[in-house]
Structure formats: C-alpha cells, structure tokens
Amino acid sequence: MPLAIVRTVADLRAQVAAWRAAGETVGLVPTMGALHEGHLSLVTLAKSRARRVVASVFVNPTQFAPHEDFDAYPRDEARDAALLQGAGCDLLFAPGVAEMYAPGFSTTVTVAGVSEPLDGAARPGHFAGVATVVTKLLLQCGPDLAVFGEKDYQQLQVIKRLVADLDIPVEVIGAPTARAPDGLALSSRNAYLTAAEREIAPSLAAALLDAIERLRKGTPVERVEATGRAALERAGFGRIDYFEVRDAASLAHLGPGPLEGPARILAAAVLGKTRLIDNMAV
Ligand code: PAF
C-alpha cells in the first residue's frame, strides 16, 4: 500500500484524532520535501519516540525572499512519499499554498531576539515565515513531539522559543546533522552544486572543525572567526554571510577572549549560486 497522503487540515486532523482515539502518540516531521538521508533520520527519530509519524511537505513561500529560490526549489512528491514510507512514516501531509494561506491571511509570528542575528540578518523576513508556518503545522497536527534538524540550528532555537512562548503543548526535538562521508552537511540545496563546487563544499565543515580545535586551545573568539572566514575565502567561497561563535541557546555574541561556556559555531557562505549553512557544537 502506498503511503497515505492528505492535503487538507480537516483530513489531517481526522486521521490524528483517530490515532488519538486508539491511544496512539503522534510525532511530526515538518519538511519542504526534496528529501535526503538527513530528513529520513528525523523520521526514524520521530518513529522511535512516537507510535505514529506524520511528515509534512510544503515549500513555504513566506520564508523565501523574492530573489531567492522558491520557484527553483526541487519538488518531487512521488519520490518523497516513497522515501518517507521506507523510513516508517505513517502519513504525508502535503497541503497546497491555498490550504495554508487562505485569502485574507494576515497573521505573522515573529520571534524577537534569537531570530535576529545570523540568518535573521542575512535573510530578512525568513524566520517570520518559518515561525508562522511551523506554528500553523503544530496547531494543525497537534503532535506530541516534533523533530527538526540541527543543521538549521538557528531555526531550531527559534522554534523552541515560540513553542515555549505560545504554550504549544509539543516536545521539540533537535536531531544531529547528517553528513556525507567527506563531512558536507546534507541539504536539499546541495543539488544545486556543480561537480567543481561539490569538491569545495566540504571545506565549510572542515573550517568549523578547525575553529573548534583552535577554541579548545584557548584562541580568542575573534581570531578564530577571522581565521575561519579567511579559510573559506581561500577555499573558493564567495560572499561569507557569517562565521561566528555564539551562545548555544540565545545565539548572543560572546565576549572577547577565550571561550568560557557552551557555544555553537555557525557559518553561512555562498559557493557559486548556492548558499550553504552549517554549524557545530563547541
Ligand atoms: O527546515 C525546513 O525544511 C523548513 O524551514 C520548515 C521547518 C519545514 C518550515 O517550512
């Protein structure tokens, strides 16, 4: 039997209600499709924690700026559905834009603080689009838990903040970043890389690992950040949006000098026409 697909909030709610009536727990894995091993690891994690797993596939227009890749974003529902089924997913929620944003739609969820630096500064409006659609998906599905990848670390912190602030009764779980054998973080956007760019791309993860090593040795944060940016330039990256060490939860700037508490190092840089992001725990 192929994976069941629902396209309306009413049908999603009916299925979740039936599972709840049978005493079953529900996990949600929100995605924009173009699935890869990283997404499937989120489904596997959700399935290990909940009896039923819903994955959503919705390329959310409100999180893309007009000049970004909304139109070009890869879409292949049949492939996604087959992969989800293989990973143990129970239901695919694949709404159209009109189902998610009915005429007259006027509400935006904005999360101050944690959504402002880094990608918030580089992609104005992006996290408002993410926060709004994730709030809707959580309210539409009403899961016990929802799994998001640490690959989008700032997004994960934004979602944890909004769930706490809005008292949404769901456990938000962060899943480790899945990587290619050469270290490149898996991403749907890796499909845009040319063969030559794909050779260069693992330098991003390598620069983060090198930065962690330097921080461990007590090198001051600013020097580590400057060395990381220089390494990316040398490797062939173009615009570097950020290469920064931040507080692991608030993403606030850390004081000058050697590192003292739990931190996260985050980077975003453009390779050819593709913007890559990655991050690691320090
Ligand atoms: O990480 C993503 O794929 C998206 O930002 C999300 C969380 C599905 C919201 O559209």
- The model's pLDDT over 70-119, given as tens digits with 9 standing for 90+, comes to 999 999 999 999 999 999 999 999 999 999 999 999 999 999 999 999 99
**What atom in ligand 1 is closest to the CA of residue 60?**
10
Most informative mutation of 41, 133, 151 for ligand 1 (most atoms within 8 A of CB): 133
Give me the pLDDT at residue 278, please: 98
- pTM to 2 decimal places: 0.97
DSSP run (H or E) holding 82: helix 77-86
Pocket test for ligand 1, best of 100, 130, 158, 160 (most atoms within 8 A of CB): 130
Residues marked active site are found at 39
Domains located in the chain, CATH noted: 5-175 (3.40.50.620), 188-281 (3.30.1300.10)
Ligand 1 geometric centre to CA of 80 (Å):
15
Atom of ligand 1 nearest to the CA of 30: 8
Angle made by CA atoms 241, 247, 248, in degrees to the nearest 5: 95
The pLDDT value given to residue 274: 97
Residue 275, burial from CB neighbour count under 10 angstroms (0-12, 13-18, 19+): buried
- Token reading at 148: 């998001």
β-bridge pairing 145-149 and 26-31: parallel
Ligand 1 centroid–CA 156 distance in Å is: 10
Q: What confidence tier does 280 reach under pLDDT thresholds 50, 70, 90?
A: very high
| Residues with Cβ within 8 Å of residue 3, at least 6 apart in sequence | 81, 82, 84, 85, 89, 90, 91, 92
Residues with C-beta less than 6 Å from any ligand 1 atom: 30-32, 60, 63, 130, 133-134, 152, 155
Q: How far apart are CA 80 and CA 35, in angstroms?
A: 6
Cα(177) to centroid of ligand 1, in Å? Answer: 14
Question: Which ligand 1 atom lies nearest to the CA of residue 31?
Answer: 8
- Bridge partners for 253 per DSSP: 246
CA of 130 to the centre of ligand 1 (A): 6
Lowest average pLDDT, out of 49-53, 77-81, 145-149, 248-252, goes to 248-252
Sign of the Cα torsion 57, 18, 27, 170 reads positive
Sheet with strand 263-271: strands edge to edge: 240-247, 263-271, 274-281
Atom of ligand 1 nearest to the CA of 63: 10
**Average pLDDT for residues 260-267, to the nearest whole number?**
91
Reported as a pLDDT band with limits 50, 70 and 90, residue 17 is very high
Q: Does residue 189 surpass a pLDDT of 90?
A: yes
What percent of the chain clears pLDDT 90, i.e. is strictly above it? Answer: 96
C-alpha 90/C-alpha 93 separation (Å) is 10
Q: Which residue has the tokens 């492939």?
A: 79
